[in-house]
């Protein structure tokens, strides 16, 4: 019974997630969080352009709240819009920016857009980034273009669990263009990283009395050696 409720709740969240993205029709929603509160369902929309999502005088949020009540029988959905921090380190945000640039200005300067996005991510602290676009850019035949900066794991557990990736599709006159962005974040710890361990040796300073004793011991040893040599 518990498992069924868990699956049902997650399926509902996926449906609401897709419903919000389809209705807002904006390339600025990075992620959606759901939180349960005593007052109702709290939905947080993280966006690169919060003002566009909210709309004039909150019109978009008001309309979305109304439709969520009707479609999913939510009693009191509370929708909040927050700005996504570190947009240059978020692959979803980068892919959306590239797609938005292609759809608004065309793909003529696609190489400059790709390199600029990669350089911004590296300046923000990313260890590595890869941007791949595929489609009819810039000719009538489909091609694949790739921009690669820094160091990026492509295999192993690190590539699966810690490298961030996102995909987006831009619709231009020539057709659909696929955009894939992969980023190795700055806070990642690689298993092959070696840190140097420095062991400090303690240096004991001798006092003046100890120095005199060592000198006397050395002189006595020298005398004994000389006496043995003379006896021989």
Q: What are phi and psi of 55, to 5 degrees?
A: 85, 175
pTM over 0.85: no
Residues 112, 147, single domain; the answer is: yes
Q: What range does the domain containing 11 cover? A: 2-83
Residues 113, 60, single domain; the answer is: no
Which of 25, 53, 83 is where one domain is finished? Answer: 83
Q: What is the pLDDT of residue 189?
A: 79
Q: What is the pLDDT of residue 26?
A: 62
Q: By the 8 A CB rule, do 114 and 145 touch? A: yes
Per-residue confidence in pLDDT tens, the chain, 232 aa: 677 777 888 888 888 888 888 777 666 788 888 888 887 788 999 888 888 888 888 888 888 888 888 888 888 888 888 888 888 999 999 998 999 899 888 888 999 999 999 999 999 999 999 999 999 988 888 999 999 999 998 888 888 889 999 999 999 988 999 999 999 999 887 777 776 666 666 655 555 555 555 655 556 555 565 566 666 5
Q: For the CA atoms of 170, 172, 176, 182, what is the dihedral angle to 10 degrees?
A: -30
- Crossing angle between the packed helical segments 59-72 and 2-24, to the nearest 10 degrees: 140
219 within domain boundaries: no
Give the count of domains, the chain. Answer: 2
A 10 A CB-CB count for 177 gives 23
Residues 33, 102, single domain; the answer is: no
Residues 174, 123, single domain; the answer is: yes
Local structure of residue 38 (DSSP, 8 states): T
CATH number reported for the structural domain that contains residue 152 in this entry? 3.30.1140.32
């Amino acid at each position: 019974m518990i498992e069924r409720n868990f699956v049902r709740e997650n399926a509902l969240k996926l449906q609401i997630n897709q419903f919000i993205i389809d209705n807002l029709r904006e390339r600025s929603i990075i992620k959606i969080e759901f939180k349960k509160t005593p007052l109702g369902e709290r939905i947080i929309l993280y966006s690169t352009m919060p003002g566009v999502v909210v709309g004039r005088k909150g019109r978009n949020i008001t309309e979305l709240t109304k439709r969520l009540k009707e479609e999913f029988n939510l009693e009191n959905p509370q929708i909040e819009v927050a700005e996504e921090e570190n947009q240059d380190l978020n692959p979803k945000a980068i892919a959306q920016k590239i797609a938005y640039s292609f759809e608004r200005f065309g793909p003529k300067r696609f190489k400059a857009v790709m390199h600029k996005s990669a350089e911004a991510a590296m300046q923000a602290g990313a260890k590595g980034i890869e941007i791949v676009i595929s489609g009819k850019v810039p000719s009538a035949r489909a091609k694949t273009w790739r921009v690669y900066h820094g160091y990026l794991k492509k295999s192993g557990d690190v590539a699966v669990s810690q490298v961030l990736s996102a995909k987006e599709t831009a619709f231009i006159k020539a057709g659909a263009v696929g955009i894939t962005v992969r980023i190795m974040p700055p806070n990642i710890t690689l298993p092959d990283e070696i840190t140097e361990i420095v062991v400090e040796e303690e240096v004991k300073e001798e006092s003046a009395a100890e120095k005199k004793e060592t000198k006397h011991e050395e002189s006595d040893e020298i005398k004994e050696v000389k006496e043995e040599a003379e006896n021989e």
